[in-house]
Chain A
Amino acid sequence: MSNVIPLHGDPHETAQRLLPWYVTGTLDAAEHRLVEDHLAHCAECAADLAGEERLRAEVAALPDAPPERPAAQWELLRERALASAASSRRGTSWWSALPTGRRIALAAASQAALVLLGIGVYDRLRQPAGGDYHTLSAPSAKGEQGGNIIVIFRPDSPEQAFRATIDAVGARLVDGPTAAGAYVLAVPNGRREAALATLRKRADIVLAQPIDGERAE
């Protein structure tokens, strides 16, 4: 299906290939006139035009799958954006910080960048509640590896499945749930891609993404 058939200036062939965009009204004036002039005296293309209009209408009317948990999706993206903005100000990894509360303000993001530089307050930031930001992907005080995968489980996932999924990829639960209901997992860096691939195929996972090192293009 990928072979390209060049146009050779045949008005009939040209009109045939432009019909979809003639129907949607997206041709430029010259092309629109070319197709219109051809349609006036080509019964085959005139008949095709009717079918083309119906085909476009039927495709455009096909039902769309509703997005899953749209509010949570925005919350997740919002957290990523805030963390990225904070990390870009620090000049460090784009997901080295995550907000934990829905009420967090943009002003707190800049404060967080300063706070994260202070070792003395590090332990306070690691508390699951109360702090505005904490470094979910940072190493722990015990020297353990920080989180490098963020996942969202289906809301109806039982705890047993939750544990089984984490065990299946050899991960360690680092933090969560965040405001978007996400959890941060840690897996050895060499196994992260394999872990992500496994997580993404599990039915109880809505989303699994790397949270450091894979900056958007």
Chain B
Amino acid sequence: MSGDRQARFEQGTWSDEPALLVRVRAHDLAAFERLYRRYHPRLSRFVTSLVRRHGLVEEVVNDTMMVLWDKPESFGGNSKLSTWLFAIAYRKAVKARMRDDEPVADEEAAERADDDAAPPDRDFGRQRTAAILQGAIGELSPDHRAVVHLTYFQEIGYREIADILGCPVDTVKTRMFHARRHLRRKLSGELADWI
């Protein structure tokens, strides 16, 4: 979430959510669709950081949204709706990953990184960096990837991440510490000018 987007949220751009939730409780499909289209991109990207097969990503996202549709009363309002949805998506992704017997590390991403580790070329520097970074992230465990994703891409605070992942806040900080160290090590040769 960009700073601008975060500011819009805090200013109440999404202040329609309580009303939408009331309508969802009454099985108003239009309200459900609005929340689906709002959260589908964020949930999809988050789940993609946990499971790799695209069909499985959509399955987890849709199953997550169905919890909102089937049991809207289970959202007590003690957290943001996004936190609640991310937490459900995380649990479902973990189960799906175990059921689907996915490899822990993203071996394809690591291979892509190796393939792209060609001699430096200024014209392709940015793509190179992105490829190496993707490979390095792919080498992390899913739980470490989740923390990196929720921190850097979703821009969620560590306490909220702990709520989503169902772990202590110190675990979130430790995972992030090790993940950053791994990413910096992998990128140190490529980006020595800024790491």
Q: Which residues of A contact B (CB under 8 A)?
A: 1-7, 16-18, 20-21, 24-27, 50-52, 54-56, 58-65, 67-68, 70, 73-74, 76-78, 80-82, 84-85, 88, 94, 106, 197, 200, 205-209, 215-217
B58 touches A216 (CB 8 A): no
B59 touches A209 (CB 8 A): yes
One of B78-86, B115-123, B153-161 at the interface: B153-161
A1 touches B137 (CB 8 A): no
B69 touches A68 (CB 8 A): no
A17 touches B177 (CB 8 A): yes
CB distance from A159 to the nearest CB of B (A): 20
B156 touches A26 (CB 8 A): yes
Report chain B residues within 8 Å CB of A85.
Answer: 27, 69
CB distance from A21 to the nearest CB of B (A): 5
B70 touches A84 (CB 8 A): yes
Report chain B residues within 8 Å CB of A77.
Answer: 36, 62, 65-66
Q: Which residues of B contact A (CB under 8 A)?
A: 3, 6, 27, 29, 32-33, 36-37, 40-41, 44-45, 48, 53-56, 58-59, 61-63, 65-67, 69-71, 88, 91-92, 99-101, 129-130, 133-134, 137, 140-141, 143-144, 148-149, 151-153, 155-158, 160, 168, 170-171, 173-180, 183-184, 187, 191, 194-195
Bound together, the chains give a CA A208 to CA B53 distance in angstroms of 12
B130 touches A61 (CB 8 A): yes
Residue in B69, B71, B180 whose CB lies within 8 Å of A81: B69
Please list 14 pairs of residues, one from A and one from B, whose beta carbons are closer than 8 Å in the complex, sorted by A's number.
Answer: A2-B141, A2-B143, A3-B174, A4-B171, A21-B151, A26-B157, A27-B157, A50-B194, A60-B153, A62-B133, A73-B62, A81-B66, A84-B66, A197-B101
Report chain B residues within 8 Å CB of A88.
Answer: 70
Report chain B residues within 8 Å CB of A56.
Answer: 151-152
Report chain A residues within 8 Å CB of B101.
Answer: 197
